[in-house]
Structure 1
C-alpha cells in the first residue's frame, strides 16, 4: 500500500469513527514507518492514539509503545495519554498492575473520567463486581450525562446480580439523556419484561414501535428492532393471559392496558406479515442467484 492510499484510508476510518483494528493497524503502520506524521497535521496526535489502540488489539506492543512515546513527549500530563499508558499496561503487565496504576492516577486527580472508566473496566475484568458497581455509581453521580456509564451500570446490575429493578432505574436515566434512541427504549422494555413488570414492558415496546415503525403501511410490515418490539408485545400479552396477577402487580405501578386481547392479535398478524415478507425476500434472492 502506498502512502497516499494509506492517508486516504485513515481519513475514511476517522470520518466513520471506526475501530477496525486490523485495518487501521495495517494502514497506519505505512504512515508511521514512512515518517509521514507531518502530512496529517493536527490530526497526527489522534492518529497516533488510534494506531496505538489498534496495535494493542492486534498484539503489536512494539508499535503501541512507539506511538505512546511520541504522545508522552508532546503531552506529558494528558489524561488521554495516561489512559493509553494504562491500556498498554493491561496488555503487558496484567490487570492488577494496571489497576494499581489507575488508582495512583485517581489519587492525584480524582476527576479524571477516562482513567476512572478504565479502572471500572479492569475491576469488572477481575470479577470484582461489587467494587465495580460502587465505583460506577460514584462515577455517574459525578458525570451524570455519561450515557455509556449508565448503560454499563444497568448491564452490571442485570447480568451479574439479576437486580433488574436497579437496572431499570439506570435505564430510566439513559432515557432522560437520550430520549430519541429506540434501542435504549427496547432495552428498557426487555429489562422490564425480565423483571416481570409486564405493564411497563408493554408501554416501552409500544414506544419502540411508535419510534421505529412505518405508520403509513397497511398492514404494517415491520423490520429490524420493530419486529423485536412486536415480538415483545406478543410475549407480554401471552404472559398476562397465563398469569393475570402480573397485570396488577407492576413494581412501577404502571396501569395495564384494557385491550390486550386485540393488541396480541395485532402483534400476531404483524409478525406473520413480517415472516411472509422475509420469506418472500429470501425466495427472490435465491431466484436471482440461480439465474446468474
Structure 2
C-alpha cells in the first residue's frame, strides 16, 4: 500500500469517526515509517493522534509511546496531549492512578471536558457507578448541551434498570437534538421497557413520521418501510397489544392511550407485511418473513 492511500484511508476513518483499530494501526504505522509527520501539516498530527489511540487498542504500547513523544514535543502543555497520556496510563496503570491524574488536571482546569469524561469513564468501568453518576450530573450541570453526556447518563441508568431515570435523561437529548430519529427511537424503546406504553407508542409513531418517506408527497401506502422505520412499526405493534391487554393501564407520564387502537394495529400489521415482502431494488425477500407474517396476524386481544 502506498503512503498516499494509507493517509487517505486514515482520513476516511477520521471523517466517519470509525474505530477500526487494527486497520488504523497498519496504515498509521506505514505512514509513521515512510514519512515525517511534521511535513504533513495538521493532517499529519491528526494521523499521529489516531495512530496513538489505535496502538493502545491493539497493545502496541511501544508505538503509542513513540507517537506520544512526538506529539508532546510539538504541543507541550496541550489538553489533548494530557488526555492521550491519561488514556495511555489507563492501559497499564491501576485505575486509582489514572483517577488521581485526571483529578489533578481538573483541579487546575475544571473546564477540561475531555479529561472530565475520561474520569467518568474510569469510574463507571471500575464499578463506581454511583460516583460516576454524581460526576456526570455535575458535568451536565456545567455543560448542559453535551448530548454525549446525556446519552451516557441514560445508558448508565438503563444498565441499572432505572428506566424512568433513563427516559428523563433522554428527554434532554430530544430537546437538544429534536430532529434525530434514532434518539426518538431510543426514548420510545426505553418508555416501552419502563411499561409506559401510551408514551412509547406515541414516540414510535413520531419515528415513523420522521422516517417513513423521504418524499413528503409520497403516500404512506405507496412507501416501503426501511431501516429504523421497520423497528418503529414493530414497536407500534407491540404497544397496541400491551395496551389492549391492560384495560386499566396507567401512564407514568400521563400520556393518554390512543383511541383508534385497532386501526393502528391494522396499520402496523400492513406496514410490517410490506416491509417483509419487499424485493428487487430493496433487497432479497427478508429472512424470517413467514415468522413475521404469522406473528402480526395474531388477534389484537
Residue matched to 2:232: 229
Give the superposition deviation at 1:72.
Answer: 1.5
Residue matched to 1:212: 211
Deviates more, 1:11-20 or 1:204-213: 11-20
Q: Say if 2:211 is the partner of 1:202.
A: no
SS of the residue aligned with 1:107?
A: helix
The total of aligned residue pairs comes to 282
Any conservation in 1 of the 2:212–2:220 contact (CA below 8 Å)? no
For structure 1, the residue ranges without an aligned partner over 5 or more in a row are 286-292
Any conservation in 2 of the 1:220–1:270 contact (CA below 8 Å)? no
Give the superposition deviation at 1:79.
Answer: 1.3
Give the superposition deviation at 1:50.
Answer: 0.7
Residue matched to 2:173: 174
Residue matched to 1:58: 58
Say which structure is richer in helix.
Answer: 1
* Distance in structure 1 (CA, Å) of the matches to 2:33 and 2:114: 29
For structure 2, the residue ranges without an aligned partner over 5 or more in a row are 288-301
Residue matched to 2:275: 274
Query: RMSD value over aligned CA atoms?
Result: 2.0
Any conservation in 2 of the 1:90–1:98 contact (CA below 8 Å)? yes
SS of the residue aligned with 1:252?
A: coil
SS of the residue aligned with 1:277?
A: coil
Any conservation in 2 of the 1:158–1:167 contact (CA below 8 Å)? yes
Structure 1 residues 30-72: Cα deviation after superposition (integer angstroms, max 9, x where no partner): 1212242134212222221111001111111011111111121
Any conservation in 2 of the 1:124–1:132 contact (CA below 8 Å)? yes
Any conservation in 1 of the 2:147–2:173 contact (CA below 8 Å)? yes
Structure 1 residues 228-269: Cα deviation after superposition (integer angstroms, max 9, x where no partner): 1011011101001111222xx111111221101110111112
Q: Is the alpha carbon distance of 1:250 and 1:283 closer, same or farther for their aligned partners in structure 2, counting shifts above 3 Å?
A: closer
Q: Is the alpha carbon distance of 1:281 and 1:111 closer, same or farther for their aligned partners in structure 2, counting shifts above 3 Å?
A: closer
Any conservation in 2 of the 1:102–1:115 contact (CA below 8 Å)? yes
* Distance in structure 1 (CA, Å) of the matches to 2:99 and 2:67: 22
Give the superposition deviation at 1:16.
Answer: 3.1
Residue matched to 2:186: 187
Structure 1 residues 161-184: Cα deviation after superposition (integer angstroms, max 9, x where no partner): x11111111111100111111000
Q: Say if 2:13 is the partner of 1:13.
A: yes
Residue matched to 2:112: 112
Please give the TM-score of this superposition, normalised by the length of structure 1: 0.91
Q: Is the alpha carbon distance of 1:264 and 1:109 closer, same or farther for their aligned partners in structure 2, counting shifts above 3 Å?
A: same
